[in-house]
Amino acid sequence: MSRPETAAPRGLYTTAARQSLAKLSPRLLLRNPVIFVTAVVAALTTLLACRDLAAGTGGGVTIQITLWLWITVLFANFAEALAEGRGKARADSLRATGQETRVKRLPSAEAPHASAEAVSSAELRKGQIVLVEAGDLIPIDGEAVAGVASVNESAITGESAPVIREAGGDRSSVTGGTTVVSDWLVIRVTADPGQSFIDRMIALVEGAERQKTPNEIALSILLTGLTLIFLFVVVTLEPFARYSGTSIPVVFLAALFVTLIPTTIGGLLSAIGIAGMDRLVKANVIAKSGRAVEAAGDVDVLLLDKTGTITFGNRMADAFVPAQGVGEARLAEAAWLASQSDDTPEGKSVVALAARLLGDALPRAEISAHVAFSAQTRLSGVDLEQGTMIRKGATDAILRHTGAEPDPVLAGRIEAIARSGGTPLLVSQDDRILGAIHLKDIIKPGVRERFAELRAMGVRTVMITGDNPLTAAAIAAEAGVDDFMAEATPEAKLQRIRDEQAQGRLVAMCGDGSNDAPALAQADVGVAMNSGTPAAKEAGNLIDLDSDPTKLIEIVMTGKQLLISRGALTTFSIANDAAKYFAILPALFLGAYPGLAALNLMGLSSPESAILSAVIFNALVIVALIPLALRGVRYAPVSASALLRRNLLLYGLGGLVVPFLGIKAIDMIVVALALV
């Protein structure tokens, strides 16, 4: 859920205007080489203007050029300050959720609640144990190690409906700033003060931890190279002019240099990056690095964990399907016993379904050993004292365990369950298969449509699940993914990502469980659900606070929009510079070479008005493009070639035409006002 804007535009603009003056510090300007060079040139023309005034030689044009050069620097600073200001306004609302409070610290996870010690939340450290009860604010990020509670996460996600957080499983993670609505939790702190998710988000939106991405660094190097090239071009104009019997004032050369270097994209580059990250934060996604956001814009393959990502993940026991000669009550009794050591939501749902069916007739048996579920055996159960083994697990696991085959009728019903998108669990007693349990999972609404959007963007979706191939195929068909990988182990997920990357593809992975952590760490873009385990959130480089796997659509679009915005405005800026070169140069050399009048397409009045008009246009175009830099160029799911054609036509051709129109209009105003 997107957050509403938190600051009034007027206050935002006023603050940004003040910050643009503060950013005139050379130390801050050095971070942007193009604008730093512009400020150096403005300082040079300031000295020339002072010299002319002291000598009494007028200098009206010099003063005007100097003022507009400084205005160019201020406008570039204003664009960056405005982008940062929007982030700071959002950070203030986030910071309000991190208030210091009194908490109940326990000496250990097993300690009784009565031994709780009241301390300040600022004293908590990673690894310590905290008790939170109904009405308490969860002080910092942690993992539930005991208890179950309803938690209001609206301060973080914007969703008013409480969610369930419980120890064990993939929904044990809690976030600082949320509130316990009912019951209680014992939490192990997983972050030191200042290192929580909220703190990371605040630092991100304020720009305190925003590092330049590789693409941004490469573009900065390109802009610096262009600046050096134009410096060489402008420096050679003076000796060329002298050879031609004319002279160009130094202030004109300085102004020409600033109008030719890529000041437009140089002034907007930082704002584009900050605004892109801000859009991501507005979508309730924490990015650990800007590299991940840009990589999202180039993703080719998306791997999604089915449980909790494509589906809600709460597979519930829906029905008992007995084998031939086995009564439903006997199957329910065996399933109830086999689920006694299964603390997963599925196991609990089997116990609940059996209890509803059996009522007061629950089995009474002496259990000698509990067999816990593991990813390797994929079954669980109990051993009774009389030597009977009761097991419940995946179809292939039970078949291997018993060495038996289900009867034809049961086999048909198992296949029907799998084809319907359900999950069949077999129940056995010793070497006999008693029947199956039908587990149902529910596809999240809107998933199919979102995957269609991804396909239009050129992103291939692959569902990864531990389910059997029939179940996986049914879910994949219903969800609309392009491919699926069934019976996947953590090692298989990791290998699939490596295989895709070996073929030159960028891979994104969504997941929420500890078993997803290796794959999340290997993927170019790892999106962890906030409701998932701490291990998953540590492994991912993006964290979705809403725990909505379809959010990756927005992440991909934000990444693509960031790349497209930067590319479009770079194209416009460079085209601008080329147009200004051919528009201004004929006016400057018209006296020495009358034949250049044919190239003076705009009919500029004089060299003075030409250079002043170009400087004014150069400053104003930055202001005109600030809304586009902050909002981003609109992205439509089209092919790369179609996108390139559109950008070249719109921003390339536009960058060539707009300076001619703009400089001519300004020239007419300058002449009409007798400014030169």
Active site residues: 305
Using DSSP, state whether 138 is helix, strand or coil: coil
Of 165, 168, 169, 170, the C-alpha closest to 152 is 165
For residue 22, the tally of other CB atoms under 10 A from its CB is 10
- Backbone dihedral angles phi then psi of residue 248, each to the nearest 5 degrees: -115, 125
**Rg for the chain, CA atoms, rounded:** 33
Q: Is 126 annotated as a binding residue?
A: no
CA–CA–CA angle 664, 670, 675 (5° rounding): 155
DSSP character string of 543-597 = EETT--TTHHHHHHHHHHHHHHHHHHHHHHHHHHHHHHHHHHHHHHSTTT-GGGG
Q: Is 380 annotated as a binding residue?
A: yes
C-alpha 412/C-alpha 399 separation (Å) is 15
CA–CA–CA angle 593, 597, 599 (5° rounding): 110
CA–CA–CA angle 35, 36, 41 (5° rounding): 95
Q: Is 324 annotated as a binding residue?
A: no
Cα dihedral 124, 129, 131, 136, rounded to 10, equals: 30
H or E segment at 320? strand 316-322
For residue 477, the tally of other CB atoms under 10 A from its CB is 13
Whether the CB-CB separation of 306 and 464 falls below 8 Å is answered with yes
Whether the CB-CB separation of 347 and 331 falls below 8 Å is answered with no
Using DSSP, state whether 440 is helix, strand or coil: strand
Using DSSP, state whether 500 is helix, strand or coil: helix
C-alpha 560/C-alpha 293 separation (Å) is 9
Q: Is 195 annotated as a binding residue?
A: no
For residue 113, the tally of other CB atoms under 10 A from its CB is 11
Q: Is 516 annotated as a binding residue?
A: yes
Burial of 13 (0-12, 13-18, 19+ CB in 10 A): middle
Q: Is 288 annotated as a binding residue?
A: no
Going by C-beta distance under 8 Å and a sequence separation of 6 or more, which residues neighbour residue 120?
100, 101, 102, 103
User: In sequence order, what are the beta bridge partners of 391?
Assistant: 381, 428
C-alpha 11/C-alpha 14 separation (Å) is 5
Q: Is 25 annotated as a binding residue?
A: no
Of 75, 534, 80, the C-alpha closest to 277 is 80
Q: How far apart are the first and last CA of the chain?
A: 54
Going by C-beta distance under 8 Å and a sequence separation of 6 or more, which residues neighbour residue 665?
none
Instruction: Compute the residue count for the chain.
Output: 676
H or E segment at 436? strand 432-440
Whether the CB-CB separation of 577 and 261 falls below 8 Å is answered with yes
Q: Is 375 annotated as a binding residue?
A: yes
Q: Is 407 annotated as a binding residue?
A: no
Q: Which residues are annotated as a binding site?
A: 342, 346, 373-380, 392, 512, 516
Q: Which residues are annotated as a binding site for ATP?
A: 342, 346, 373-380, 392
Q: Which residues are annotated as a binding site for Mg(2+)?
A: 512, 516
